[in-house]
């Protein structure tokens, strides 16, 4: 393979990475815990966009902050898993067009 073809391929890969980053930034996932007591929104790049705590959960936290912390952790971890799934789906969709084995 000559150097020009390798540079073209590298350029295509860099363009695909940029597209994937853009898609991940636009992808939004949401997760809840405690029956909606805590709601987390995160983008596909795992940036936390919004955290909502229901007033009842905040009131209950005055006597048991550990419970609220656990609900927040659960919602953030679930949103993170959903963001991972979205990233894998986006990558598979983009790489599938290249005809690579396993994609």
pLDDT tens, position by position, 40-61: 999 998 999 999 999 999 898 8
Angle at 81 between CA 42 and CA 70, to 5 degrees: 80
**CATH code of the domain made up of 3-90:** 3.30.1310.10
Residue 22, C-beta contacts closer than 8 angstroms, at least 6 positions apart: none
Segments making up each domain of the chain, as ranges? 3-90
Q: What is the pLDDT of residue 13?
A: 82
Closest alpha carbon to 29 in 71, 69, 73, 77: 77
CA distance 27 to 46: 10
What is the side-by-side order of every strand in the sheet holding 38-43?
28-33, 38-43, 48-53
- pLDDT tens string, the chain, 103 residues long: the values are 688 888 888 888 888 888 888 888 899 999 999 999 999 999 998 999 999 999 999 898 888 899 999 999 999 999 999 999 988 888 887 766 555 555 4
CA distance 32 to 74: 8
């Amino acid at each position: 393979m000559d150097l020009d073809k390798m540079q073209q391929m590298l350029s295509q890969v860099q363009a695909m990475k940029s597209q994937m980053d853009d898609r991940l930034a636009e992808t939004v996932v949401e997760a809840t815990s405690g029956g909606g007591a805590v709601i987390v929104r995160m983008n596909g790049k795992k940036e936390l966009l919004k955290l909502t705590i229901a007033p009842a959960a905040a009131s209950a936290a005055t006597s048991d902050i550990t419970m609220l912390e656990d609900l927040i952790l659960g919602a953030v971890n679930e949103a993170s898993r959903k963001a991972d799934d979205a990233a894998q789906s986006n990558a598979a969709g983009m790489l599938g067009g290249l005809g690579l084995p396993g994609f």
